[in-house]
Amino acid sequence: MADTRTWFCCFLAFFCGTVLTSTARDTECKKQYFGDSSFVCVCSADQCDYVAANKLRIGDYSVYTSTMTGDRLTRRVYNIDIKPNISNTDITFTINSTHTYQQILGFGGAFTDAAGINILNLTKDVQDRLLESYYSPNGIEYTLGRIPMASCDFSTHPYSYDDVVGDFSLENFALTKEDLSFKIPIIQRALNMSQNILNIFFFRFVEEYSKNGIQLWGLTAQNEPTDGAIEGFSFQAMYFNETSQRDFIKLDLGPTLKARGHKDVKLMILDDNRIMLPRWAETVLQDPDAAQYVSGIAVHWYLNSFIPANILSITHDKCPDYFILSTEACAGSFPLTKPVMLGNWERGESYSHDVITDLQNWVTGWVDWNIALNMQGGPNWVENFVDSPVIVDAENDVFYKQPMYYHLGHFSKFVEPGSMRVDVKSDKTNDLLIVAFITNKKRITVVILNSENKAVKIHLYDIKSGYINAEVPARSIQTYTWMTK
């Protein structure tokens, strides 16, 4: 498994109303093929595709489409009908916006050292294009960001903040050049482009980042704590099992955060693969002395093929007062797989499949791993290379938007924090994956993934608005949005 491997991981919550404007340039996707199943969109100082704004009138709907063969978040607008009009339609989906489930926290990726290094290897204008692509209203509008505390494998070397033996008062604690050069400046620029970013160290990390204008929303008690039990594990990991994490939270971490005035920082347990659920959650949260400090349960995707997504619903039913957040995923992490596959559509589909099945089972958001890597899938000091939605080609001063980027954009762009998942019923068995929401702007938003090699005709029926008569293309992901009455 390849993932953060850092001692602790953090998320930041902050609001900023400033939006940077862009200089004039070509905004269509410049396609480039590297011999895989699809293409990337190339972005340079004067060329980078944007996502069209979703301006809607009552009675209209927008559909944004990405396909293996051509579209990338392409917007089209049609009228909502008062009755179904597709003959021999395959499926009717009924959207019930009065039946709601979990509230959404958001979607995003991690500000690792590697991501910062790669972004800063580009010229200033291209750096701006990359950050705009993720965080501005012209991009896919990420609202969550993950910050590794100190080094992880996606650093150029291992380091920490206080290597002085016996310094339990942390008098020698200090952020490093990696924070001050590769993380904080990139996060600050992202905040200045965003209309709504949420982000996730213990109290000194929280306080030091606050001094740099970054207010942290939450933290996890340990990244992948079970890695520390793997014999010969080659990089940063510290072992907890569920009982030792419970005791650490109730005896040390929780009381310290409260005493330092950080009781509102949201603490998450686990931050590891869902194969440990629901046992891990029950052990920690059935202890009231530990549970009082906990807000949520963080999960990773790396062993999902071994256990179905309904374990998340089982965990929710046992612990309904605690949110579940997916905090790490990346493609290309398993042995014998190629780290970077430029233009690979299947990796985008694997992302969307995981996002939808997570959301269908009470997960409140989904956070990708590195927001940008180089052509090799690094830098990574233990050569644990993986893929990323954005790959930086510093030699040519460009970056490549992978299909994974667009798949994630179908959620992050349209399902803002505070949206509620709503009920969807199908009139027959089918191979489409679908999830629906009502947003703060009173829009119904539906995301549909078709991983099959044939198009499917559908009705989307909203009792308040009418029928959407549509066709979901083969090998596509679509987002439908309309104003609810």
How far is it, in rounded angstroms, from Cα 356 to Cα 449?
A: 9
Helix, coil or strand: residue 339: coil
Residue 74, C-beta contacts closer than 8 angstroms, at least 6 positions apart? 64, 65, 66
Residue 154, class by beta-carbon neighbours within 10 Å (0-12 exposed, 13-18 middle, 19+ buried)?
buried
Nearest to 347 by CA among 140, 38, 42: 38
Identity of the amino acid at 152: C
Do the strands 294-300 and 323-328 form a parallel or antiparallel pair, or are they unpaired?
parallel
Task: Say if residues 347 and 402 touch (Cβ distance below 8 Å).
Answer: yes
How far is it, in rounded angstroms, from Cα 444 to Cα 438?
A: 5
Examine the residue annotation and report whether 452 is marked as an active-site residue of this protein.
Answer: no
Examine the residue annotation and report whether 224 is marked as an active-site residue of this protein.
Answer: yes
Identity of the amino acid at 27: T
The number of residues in the chain equals 485
Identity of the amino acid at 364: T
Sheet of strand 390-393, all strands in order from the earlier edge strand to the far edge: 30-32, 40-43, 398-401, 390-393, 373-374
Residue 12, C-beta contacts closer than 8 angstroms, at least 6 positions apart? 145, 147, 187, 197, 198, 199, 200, 209, 214, 215, 216, 217
The residue to which tokens 């929780």 are assigned:
254
Which is the catalytic residue, given 132, 328, 349, 416? 328
Residue 457, class by beta-carbon neighbours within 10 Å (0-12 exposed, 13-18 middle, 19+ buried)?
middle
Which is the catalytic residue, given 132, 141, 224, 349? 224
CB-facing half-sphere around the CA of 383: CA atoms within 13 A: 2
How far is it, in rounded angstroms, from Cα 313 to Cα 308?
A: 10
The residue to which tokens 């482009």 are assigned:
193
Per DSSP, 304 falls in state: G
Identity of the amino acid at 237: A
Tokens of 254: 């929780």
How far is it, in rounded angstroms, from Cα 354 to Cα 93?
A: 21
Nearest to 94 by CA among 389, 478, 461: 461
Query: Hey, CA dihedral for 333, 336, 340, 341, is it positive or negative?
Result: negative
Task: Say if residues 73 and 411 touch (Cβ distance below 8 Å).
Answer: no
Catalytic (active-site) positions = 224, 328
